[in-house]
């Protein structure tokens, strides 16, 4: 159990992410209050042992976690601050810059809001898919405003640590550029790859190996939620996709023409693919992820 | 131990695939002779317990497995048949139609050649990366010529079963079209995605999650070997890539314009990505692969 000075946390939005955070906090002995626009969802999260329903008159929480879809965060934050639900507020949305800009425009108190984004998730949704160890060893971006007192950032970083994750502090714009590269664009690439199998027959499926299984795993996830995320980070995602398309266009040219220079470019793409993959794998030892190669 | 009627198998090419087959056969008590153009590689495979070096004067094998790169298979097959190394010959190359056509042209005996392709592999290469269970539960395509006697197909199917894999008999052209979709094109897509990280800085890498790890895993693999594979199946791979590029071009348009119809198309791509992924996952229960969702 992590020695936490957090006493009480409120979770607004009791889906898979909110409930997983709640479970990790409960495991560390933190008091957790839950809410959701759907009371049944709160009841399910409560059944999971994630905490108790948030009630009017509850004392303010040390941290209020907003775990609702990106396009709803500002509205929920403004309302929560109006009601004085906590000392510090954070969120878990996959995009940051637009939410921060809209929160400023909407008149949110930026000194008590520490935008966040845990780099973990599940294909399954809802409180029953929650796991206390969902964030163990994973990065968790925090993008504090210049007006944020260090003590407030510290409180949210403590929540991140209780969840077993590693806080990474960086500006919102940098977060979004990186999230486009490491998460949002790969999601669309996996979707484009998977879409070709929507009508696949049994013969095709009989030859599916672990390689395709892994390459398409992130193509799951609620389309409405992902449309929301992608629109919130549209420019950065488009830029990464354009680069991927350029590479694939060149590969098609090489395969169609078998021209010597084009084939050399194909070999170069494969080599740069190796290098990029090496960098991605190297980024993980600190998080104790098995580096031994799995099978294709 | 599988009750095998196979007595002796020769493996030509003692890399990770050839040696893994050898280990699976040895485990079942089959005698295995090993060869490779590099004697050190044979010595390493022998150290792994994969068998003994193939010697002139050895009795003919029941099955000769050619586990060399695609562009060398016909030459190795012709030579092995000339030397009378076995009763039946098979290979493990990732492409089939061009090899079959070239083998016919080169005058190979097509009645004793059963083209094969195990749908498994490792990112690591060489005999020390071999594993006896590499093929357990995986599909293994067999593309027999019309002239192949059923008994010959049966011998190779038995070898496949001893390796723990599931033989899938289909025409070479169908194999290549499917391999382009489930393996070759996804390899290039993963390479294109990974290539963007070849020069990634520590801040970018600090936010890498399991999603990107999985999506790029197949971007490893020897560029020269993969160039060989891709060129052998160029037309089919190009066709799949063109379809992926079309999807991504539409996604970029949606993100750049935020036009209502384009955004609807984006939501549709995400939904079809879900459907395709469902098909891919459904294809696996027979192979006892864990269906419970891993984390993103």
Cβ separation of A193 and B186 shorter than 8 Å? yes
Cβ separation of B213 and A240 shorter than 8 Å? no
Q: What pLDDT, on a 0 to 100 scale, did the predictor assign at position A146?
A: 84
A-interface mutation test, from B165, B180, B208, B262, most A Cβ less than 10 A away: B208
Is the pLDDT confidence value at B296 over 60?
no
- Nearest beta carbon to residue B209 from set A119, A221, A273: A119
- Nearest beta carbon to residue B223 from set A187, A248, A270: A270
**Answer CATH for A8-170 from 2.70.50.60, 3.40.50.300, 3.40.50.720, 3.30.70.1070:** 3.40.50.720
Complex prediction ipTM: 0.87
A-interface mutation test, from B117, B142, B248, B288, most A Cβ less than 10 A away: B248
Q: What pLDDT, on a 0 to 100 scale, did the predictor assign at position A121?
A: 77
The number of CA neighbours under 13 Å toward the Cβ of A3 is 0
Q: What pLDDT, on a 0 to 100 scale, did the predictor assign at position B285?
A: 53
CA angle, A279 then A284 then A288, to 5°:
155
CATH of domain B176-287: 1.10.3660.10
Minimum CA–CA partner of A281 in chain B: B213
Tens place of pLDDT per residue across chain A (296 aa): 334 589 999 999 999 999 999 999 999 999 999 999 999 999 999 999 999 999 999 999 999 999 999 999 999 999 999 999 999 999 999 999 999 999 999 999 999 999 999 998 777 789 999 999 999 999 999 999 887 999 999 999 999 999 999 999 999 999 999 999 999 999 999 999 999 999 999 999 999 988 999 999 999 989 998 999 999 999 999 999 999 999 999 999 999 999 899 889 999 999 999 999 999 998 865 444 433 333 33
Is the pLDDT confidence value at B292 over 60?
no
List all residues 6 or more positions away from A39 whose beta carbon is below 8 Å from its beta carbon.
none
A205 touches chain B (CB under 8 A): yes
Q: What pLDDT, on a 0 to 100 scale, did the predictor assign at position B286?
A: 47
Judging contacts by C-beta atoms under 8 Å, the chain B residues touching residue A196 are: 181, 240, 243-244, 276
Using DSSP, state whether B34 is helix, strand or coil.
strand
Q: How far is B130 from chain A (nearest CA, A)?
A: 11
List all residues 6 or more positions away from A282 whose beta carbon is below 8 Å from its beta carbon.
B205
Burial (CB < 10 A; 0-12, 13-18, 19+), residue A66, is buried
Q: Where are the domains of chain B?
A: 8-170, 176-287
Q: What pLDDT, on a 0 to 100 scale, did the predictor assign at position B121?
A: 77
Q: What pLDDT, on a 0 to 100 scale, did the predictor assign at position B125?
A: 84
B276 touches chain A (CB under 8 A): yes
Q: B residues 237-256 near A, CB within 8 Å?
A: 237-238, 240-245, 247-249, 251-252, 255-256
């Amino acid at each position: 159990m992590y020695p936490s000075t957090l006493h009480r946390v409120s979770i607004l939005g009791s889906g898979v992410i909110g409930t997983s955070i709640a479970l990790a906090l409960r495991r560390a002995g933190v008091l957790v209050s839950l809410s959701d626009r759907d009371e049944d969802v709160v009841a399910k999260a409560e059944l999971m042992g994630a905490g108790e329903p948030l009630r009017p008159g509850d004392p303010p929480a040390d941290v209020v976690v907003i775990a609702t879809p990106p396009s709803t965060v500002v509205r929920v934050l403004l309302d929560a601050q109006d009601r004085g639900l906590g000392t510090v507020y954070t969120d878990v949305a996959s995009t940051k810059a637009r939410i921060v800009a809209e929160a400023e425009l909407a008149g949110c108190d930026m000194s008590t809001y520490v935008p966040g984004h845990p780099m973990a998730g599940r294909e399954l949704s809802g409180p029953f898919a929650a796991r206390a160890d969902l964030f163990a060893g994973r990065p968790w971006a925090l993008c504090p405003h210049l007006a944020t007192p260090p003590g407030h950032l510290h409180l949210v970083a403590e929540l991140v640590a209780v969840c077993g994750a590693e806080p990474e502090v960086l500006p919102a714009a940098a977060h979004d550029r990186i999230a486009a590269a490491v998460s949002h664009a790969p999601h669309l690439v996996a979707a484009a790859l998977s879409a070709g199998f929507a009508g696949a027959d049994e013969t095709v499926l009989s030859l599916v190996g672990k390689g395709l299984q892994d390459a398409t795993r992130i193509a799951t996830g609620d389309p409405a939620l992902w449309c929301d995320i992608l629109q919130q980070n549209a420019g950065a995602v488009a830029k990464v996709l354009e680069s991927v398309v350029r590479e694939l266009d060149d590969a098609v040219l090489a395969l169609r023409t078998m021209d010597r220079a084009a084939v050399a470019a194909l070999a170069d793409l494969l080599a740069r693919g190796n290098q990029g993959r090496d960098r991605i794998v190297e980024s993980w030892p600190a998080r104790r992820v098995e580096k031994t190669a799995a099978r294709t």
